[in-house]
Amino acid sequence: MSTTKSSLLCTGMAIGAALTLIFDPSAGRRRRSLLRDKGLHYASKVQRSVDVILHDARNRMHGFMAGDFSVKKFDLLQPTWAPSTRFLAGLAGAGLMAYGMSRGGLKGAAADLLGAALLAEGVTNATMRQRTQRQQHAPQQQPHPKAAETPAPVEIAVPATEMAATARIEI
């Protein structure tokens, strides 16, 4: 069987399994409801993100039109970036990665690397140092403050006859 036929077969099986789960008579209604709720939730998150990006871009454009060209506000030189800058950097990174994959060779690998760095910066909004930094030493656990106040267990020596009498067990 060729690779194309096996890919189509696997795709068809996956689609069939998904449809079986969604249209299952006993639990399908719950799964469809859960799927709808998750879809609405993520659509709302995307809409909020788009609103934030557009609001930021609009404010930046107003500042630019008013003549605010200060280098101090140039986002790419700051440790964290504004939402519109992150979005554009992510798009540029994805574009560079697509170009690098189509190009191949050393130039393609360099474009892939630069694109991945830009995409990671846009998605995480953390500097390269923050993303690659490892914790040097694990923090040592301090004993709980009340642990020092707890008295040590006390052992009481009781003769077996007295213990048997109080527990009503015959020896």
For 49-103, what is each residue's pLDDT tens digit?
889 888 988 887 887 788 776 655 667 777 778 888 888 889 999 999 999 999 8
The Cα 165–Cα 169 span in angstroms is 7
Q: Are 170 and 164 in contact (CB under 8 A)?
A: yes
Contacts of 57 (CB under 8 A, 6+ apart): 84
Task: State the pLDDT at residue 140.
Answer: 61
Distance, in Å, from the CA atom of 165 to the CA atom of 167, rounded to the nearest integer, reads: 6
From the number of C-beta atoms within 10 Å of its C-beta (0-12, 13-18, 19+), residue 17 rates as exposed
| Placement of tokens 């689609």 in the chain | 15
Model confidence pLDDT, tens digit, residues 132-171 = 665 455 556 665 555 556 555 666 666 666 655 555 555 5
Residue 39's pLDDT is 94
Helix count (H) and strand count (E) of the chain?
A: 6, 0
* pTM reported for the whole predicted model: 0.50
- pLDDT average, residue stretch 35-41: 94
For the chain, what percentages of helix, strand and coil (3-state, to nearest 5) are there?
70, 0, 30
DSSP letter at 157 equals -
**Domain locations in the chain as residue ranges:** 70-133
Note the pLDDT of residue 93.
Answer: 92
